[in-house]
């Protein structure tokens, strides 16, 4: 039986390193300044970590929708996802 290893491209490595650094930054931020629940435009009481998770999920769905609905480069969806993440983290 032959085992195939996953081939890691540079963009894939950058993606996972960025996610790891963002989670590490959120952890340090939580240690320095504990979060409190608040209500934003999402209309549910959520914490900073929950907003971060919702933002990542939304960014993933934006990229999947971009792949499924357009033939344009996926790099165009990146700024849209970044804006979504900013809006959710700030006002979500």
* Percentage above 70 pLDDT, the chain: 96
- CA pseudo-torsion sign 50, 55, 58, 64: negative
Residue 85 and residue 57: Cα distance in Å, rounded? 9
Q: How confident is the model at residue 1 (pLDDT cuts 50, 70, 90)?
A: low
pTM, to two decimals: 0.78
Give the tens place of pLDDT for each residue, 17-68.
999 999 999 999 999 999 888 888 888 889 999 999 999 999 999 999 999 9
The owner of tokens 């999920």 is 57
pLDDT digit string (tens) for 55-84?
999 999 999 999 999 999 888 999 999 999
Tokens linked to 87: 């809006």
Extents of the domains making up the chain: 10-91
């Amino acid at each position: 039986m032959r085992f195939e290893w996953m081939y890691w491209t540079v963009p894939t490595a950058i993606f996972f390193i960025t996610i790891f650094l963002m989670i590490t930054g959120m952890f340090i931020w939580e240690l320095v300044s504990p979060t409190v629940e608040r209500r934003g435009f999402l209309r549910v009481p959520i914490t900073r970590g929950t907003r971060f998770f919702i933002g990542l999920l939304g960014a993933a769905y934006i990229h999947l929708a971009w792949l499924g609905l357009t033939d344009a480069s996926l790099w165009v969806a990146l700024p849209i996802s970044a804006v979504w993440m900013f809006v959710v983290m700030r006002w979500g």
